[in-house]
Amino acid sequence: MGLFARTPRPAQITPADAWALSQAGEAALLDVREAGEYAAGHAPGSLWQTLAAVAAGAPLPDAVPTGHPVLVVCRSGNRSQKAAELLAARGVRALNVSGGMRAWHAAGLPVRDRAGQDGQVI
């Protein structure tokens, strides 16, 4: 491999497909936004770990089932793409949720705040 060799970009998954897989228990949904963003509105059942923690090599949350893919989401898809690349380099089967929580919300999928009420994507 040359100096500029890159690992392949992780696959993309639509918000609707990510929701279906996470609801079926076939994948873990990992939100990599900052604490305030996550508290304001996140996908129900999602796990949380910042991109900075992923970049620092922190272990995935204990609730991520071994052997299941990790579906990574942020606000627009940029941070989650980077997190998915980092996780893939560690041997994790990671997919990026295309369009992030903005696309999630636009698709009419549920968004909840920290109290479990209707949330907002900030």
Does residue 122 sit within a domain? no
Strands (E), the chain: 12-13, 28-31, 47-48, 70-73, 94-97
Range of the domain at 86: 12-106
Phi, psi (5° rounding) for residue 56? Answer: -80, -5
Does residue 121 sit within a domain? no
User: What is the pTM (predicted TM-score) of this model?
Assistant: 0.91
Q: Tell me the pLDDT tens digit for each residue of 69-85.
A: 999 999 999 999 999 99
- The residue annotated as part of the active site, out of 74, 87, 94, 101, is 74
Q: Tell me the pLDDT tens digit for each residue of 26-55.
A: 999 999 999 999 999 999 999 999 999 999
Does residue 80 sit within a domain? yes
Does residue 85 sit within a domain? yes
| Number of independent structural domains in the chain | 1
Does residue 55 sit within a domain? yes
CATH assignment of the domain containing 49: 3.40.250.10
Does residue 7 sit within a domain? no
| Catalytic residue list contains 59 | no
